[in-house]
Amino acid sequence: MKRNSINIHHVTSFSSSPFWCVFFLVLLCKTSTNALVKQPPNETTPAIIVFGDSIVDAGNNDDIMTTLARCNYPPYGIDFDGGIPTGRFCNGKVATDFIAEKFGIKPSIPAYRNPNLKPEDLLTGVTFASGGAGYVPFTTQLSTYLFIYKPLLFLKGGIALSQQLKLFEEYVEKMKKMVGEERTKLIIKNSLFMVICGSNDITNTYFGLPSVQQQYDVASFTTLMADNARSFAQKLHEYGARRIQVFGAPPVGCVPSQRTLAGGPTRNCVVRFNDATKLYNVKLAANLGSLSRTLGDKTIIYVDIYDSLLDIILDPRQYGFKVVDKGCCGTGLIEVALLCNNFAADVCPNRDEYVFWDSFHPTEKTYRIMATKYFERYV
245 strand-pairing partners:
194, 301
Using an 8 Å Cβ cutoff, are 71 and 87 in contact? yes
Residue 368 CA to residue 292 CA, distance in Å, equals 30
Q: Which residues of 2-16 are buried (b: 16+ CB within 10 A; e: fewer)?
A: eeeebeeeebeebbb
Altogether, the residues listed in the chain come to a count of 379
Asked, as a colleague might, if the bond just before 41 is cis with ω within 30 of 0, I would say: yes
CA-based angle 6:200:54, to the nearest 5? 140
> Catalytic one among 130, 191, 358, 359?
358
DSSP-derived 3-state class of residue 148: coil
Using an 8 Å Cβ cutoff, are 157 and 135 in contact? no
> Catalytic one among 15, 16, 54, 308?
54
Tabulate helix, strand, coil % of the chain (nearest 5): 40, 15, 45
Q: Which of 236, 237, 233 is nearest to 247 (CA)?
A: 233
Residue 309 CA to residue 293 CA, distance in Å, equals 29
Farthest-apart Cα atoms in the chain, separation: 60
Q: Which residues of 297-321 are buried (b: 16+ CB within 10 A; e: fewer)?
A: eeebbbbbbbebbbbbbeebeeeeb
Using an 8 Å Cβ cutoff, are 345 and 339 in contact? yes
Our answer to whether residue 361 is catalytic in this structure is yes
Our answer to whether residue 325 is catalytic in this structure is no
Using an 8 Å Cβ cutoff, are 346 and 319 in contact? no
DSSP-derived 3-state class of residue 60: coil
DSSP-derived 3-state class of residue 290: helix
Residue 250 CA to residue 313 CA, distance in Å, equals 11
Residue 146 CA to residue 138 CA, distance in Å, equals 17
> Catalytic one among 130, 143, 304, 361?
361
Using an 8 Å Cβ cutoff, are 88 and 54 in contact? no
Our answer to whether residue 358 is catalytic in this structure is yes
Q: Which amino acids are annotated catalytic?
A: 54, 358, 361
